[in-house]
Amino acid sequence: MASSRLNILYILEILREESDSDHILSMAEIRKKLFLYYGVNLDRRTVTSAINDLIDFGIDISTFTDNGLGYYLIDRDFEKSETYLLMDAIFSLAYIDRDQCTELLRKIGKSQSKYQRSVDKYISQTDFYRTKRTSNKEVFLNIEIINEAIEENRQIEFTYLTYGPDKKLVPKRKRPYKLNAYRILADNKKYYLLGTTPGFTNILSFRIDFIKDIKILDENRDSFREDELNRLIEKASHAFFGKPSFIKIRFDKDILTYVIDQFGTDIKLREDGDYYLGEFMAPEKGIEYWALQFLPYVEVLEPVSLRESVIESVKENLYGI
């Protein structure tokens, strides 16, 4: 009986690994692979019966009756296009270290046949070995512990890292950070932990790939209104958090898509010759950082204090201009 159940699993694995709509297996090929891979010699009737059992169980398999050629597995966890989308997304995330990225790509790739998974096209690219990918292997553990702390309403403690002159991650300060953890946020291809220092209400953000030696504390975290947190996240810019201010900018029409991508469709727009005037709410620090990135195309009009801060930053540039 156990052998019969194993035979079904062997056949399913062969179909999962070696068949798709472009690689249909004949009955003879399935029987040959069963013997080659598992040392099992099954007759046609037994193989057909096992495939029918899989179909009865709800696994979608195309048969000779359907296609006139043989057998292949239709039922996949992801469509091929979905697999490529997930792989592209994971490949682009520099906060996942090289080994963990490879493992994730291979796991997702296994949802397709060996002919369609295309993992090697990612790990053979020069970009895969670029030095900007994180060296911190604790990212997934960090996420797991942070989520546990959030669910249990507990405070956390961790070492926060920064790059030193030798281009290695080192502790930013000697004593660990203590935090009320509230949310994990993805922003601009980075993962951030949002929280407050116990006894304070200002939301702070920490790169999760810069967190090390994290642990959950016995103390309960301070309460924070969920709707207030959501409001701050919605108005945040480049992971800068704070009280949203009224912002007014003038920008080149050519960057309209970038502006809407950053600030959403709630932004109020008005044409001004070759430019648009935009009005929205956001933290000033994040807008200053963003405006400096788009310096030739964006002018901050209001608030005046933010406009002056941008002007001062331009004056203090390292080019001495």
Q: How far is CA 237 from CA 30, 143, 233, 245, in A?
A: 56, 22, 8, 12
Please, what is the average pLDDT of the chain? 83
In the chain, the domains with their CATH numbers are: 4-73 (1.10.10.10), 80-124 (no CATH), 138-234 (no CATH), 245-316 (no CATH)
Phi-psi bin for 188: left (phi > 0), alpha (psi -120 to 50), beta? left
With tokens 């008005």, the residue in question is: 270
Q: Write out the E strands in the chain.
A: 61-62, 72-73, 154-163, 169-171, 177-187, 190-196, 204-207, 211-220, 245-252, 268-272, 275-282, 298-302
Handedness of CA 188, 299, 230, 208 (dihedral sign): positive
The 10s digit of each residue's pLDDT in 216-245 is 999 999 888 777 777 766 655 555 566 788
The 10s digit of each residue's pLDDT in 74-123 is 978 777 767 767 777 777 676 677 777 778 878 877 777 777 666 555 44
Q: For residue 221, what is the DSSP state?
A: P
Top pLDDT among 236 and 194 is at: 194
Percent of the chain with pLDDT over 90: 39
Top pLDDT among 106 and 183 is at: 183
Range with the poorest average pLDDT among 35-49, 61-75, 182-196, 272-286? 182-196
Bridge-based pairing of strands 190-196 and 204-207 is: antiparallel
Range with the poorest average pLDDT among 6-15, 67-76, 159-168? 159-168
Kindly report the pTM of this predicted structure.
0.55
pLDDT at site 173: 93
Sorting pLDDT into bands at 50, 70 and 90, what band is 1? Answer: very low
